[in-house]
Amino acid sequence: MSMVCLREYEDYARKHLPKAVWDFWAAGADDCHTREENILAFKRIRLRPRMLCDVSVIDTRTTVLGTEISFPLGIAPSAFHCLAWHDGELSTARASGAMNVCYITSTNSTYSVEEIADAAPNGLHWLQLYVFRERKLSEQLVRRAEAAGYKALVLTVDAPLVGKRRADIRNNFQLPPHLKVKNFDGLFEESNGSKEYGMPANTFDLSVTWKDIHWLQSLTHLPIIIKGILTKEDAELALKHGVHGIIVSNHGGRQLDGVSATIDALSEVVDAVQGKIEVYLDSGIRTGSDILKALALGAKCVFIGRPALWGLTYKGEEGLREVLKMLRDEFHLSMALAGCRNISEINKSLIHLSKL
């Protein structure tokens, strides 16, 4: 069967994944209001397309932090790709590399940063980070990422604690014994305490503040991106603390239920940074026209989480390539039908702002 839209990959994954794995990725926090809003908010936005613009040549290329990508979409970090496909993150890296998009690998990967980088040596890789209570762990991971050629660090700031995802609690979701968080292989073996998703409880440092951004900057020459900002106040702080980018994210609706859809929070953040750093967005992208809307409202690039996992579940590298290609083709078509020949022609005039 040939897939026609992202929802068909979702249906496939729902049908073929073990229930607890499906639930783990599908989960939103609490009542899942924010998870649903992420989708609905995109659909409420009305486009203002322009006609007769000579769309014989459409250029979907753009850059993130100066590196060219084939279109303004990348892979958001998500844990444990081996639950979707036997060689997990290796397939993700190969598909991303082949499609020339940015892949943000998760700290909680089932392959190590080195293995992932090696799988697609020419790919654009960023590494998602948490701050560990034991700072040395973070430090080592940063050094390894640098050595392996990662181009940026993405600090997740919206998850000092894990959101309450009811299905995971009901399922008592655990990483199966044959899988490991490979970046810390052996490190936590001795621990006898309860583990949360493969790592001991109390691993993360809840005391992190903006000052720790300076600590992180002191460790590395890599640009630092903050993931999980939803307000202008935090956007201004990010700017003040010298970060290189912001991902407007609500963690796919998995953390604090009741926060805005990311596309609804985007303008506030974009206005606050005044073009001084790049602003990205994840959560809720399901069609090419969603990408167009996010860019029109000021995002430099968007990232997909669950849809990447659906593609991976379907056919590994090939499945994810299909998903990426479908989104690129839909985005290309949306640009043409909106009268945009290249990324620089996408701006706010495409949006009915009074209906936001």
Residues binding its own copies (CB under 8 A): 2, 4-5, 30-31, 33, 43, 45-56, 157-158, 160-161, 163-164, 166, 169-170, 205-210, 212-213, 226, 228-231, 233-234, 237, 255-260, 264, 287, 289, 293, 330, 333-334, 336-338, 349, 352
CB of 50: closest distance to its own copies in angstroms? Answer: 6
CB of 257: closest distance to its own copies in angstroms? Answer: 6
Residue placing its CB nearer to its own copies in the complex, 49 or 149: 49
Three-class secondary structure of residue 155 per DSSP = strand
Cβ atoms 201, 192 nearer than 8 A: no
Question: End-to-end distance of the chain based on CA atoms, in angstroms?
Answer: 38
Residue 352 a catalytic site member: no
Which residue of the set 125, 178, 221, 251 is catalytic? 251
Residue placing its CB nearer to its own copies in the complex, 114 or 210: 210
Residue placing its CB nearer to its own copies in the complex, 293 or 315: 293
Cβ atoms 243, 226 nearer than 8 A: yes
- C-alpha distance from residue 307 to each of 88, 194, 253 (Å): 14, 30, 15
Residue placing its CB nearer to its own copies in the complex, 142 or 157: 157
Report the alpha-carbon angle 7-13-19, nearest 5: 130
- Report which DSSP code applies to 261: P
- C-alpha distance from residue 9 to each of 6, 87, 211, 282, 287 (Å): 5, 19, 42, 19, 13
* CA pair distance 229, 262, nearest whole angstrom: 9
- C-alpha distance from residue 156 to each of 110, 130, 220 (Å): 18, 6, 17
Main-chain phi, psi angles of 81, to 5 degrees: -65, -20
Residue placing its CB nearer to its own copies in the complex, 68 or 348: 348
CB of 29: closest distance to its own copies in angstroms? Answer: 8
CB of 131: closest distance to its own copies in angstroms? Answer: 10
- C-alpha distance from residue 330 to each of 72, 73, 338 (Å): 12, 12, 12
* CA pair distance 88, 282, nearest whole angstrom: 21
CB of 73: closest distance to its own copies in angstroms? Answer: 16
Quick one: angle between helices 6-16 and 306-338, nearest 10?
170
CB of 244: closest distance to its own copies in angstroms? Answer: 16
CB of 212: closest distance to its own copies in angstroms? Answer: 7
- For 87-102, the DSSP string reads THHHHHHHHHHHHT-E
Residue placing its CB nearer to its own copies in the complex, 163 or 223: 163
Q: How many CA atoms lie within 13 A of 116 on its CB side?
A: 35
CA dihedral 243, 302, 57, 123 (to 10 degrees): 70
The residues assigned a catalytic role are: 251
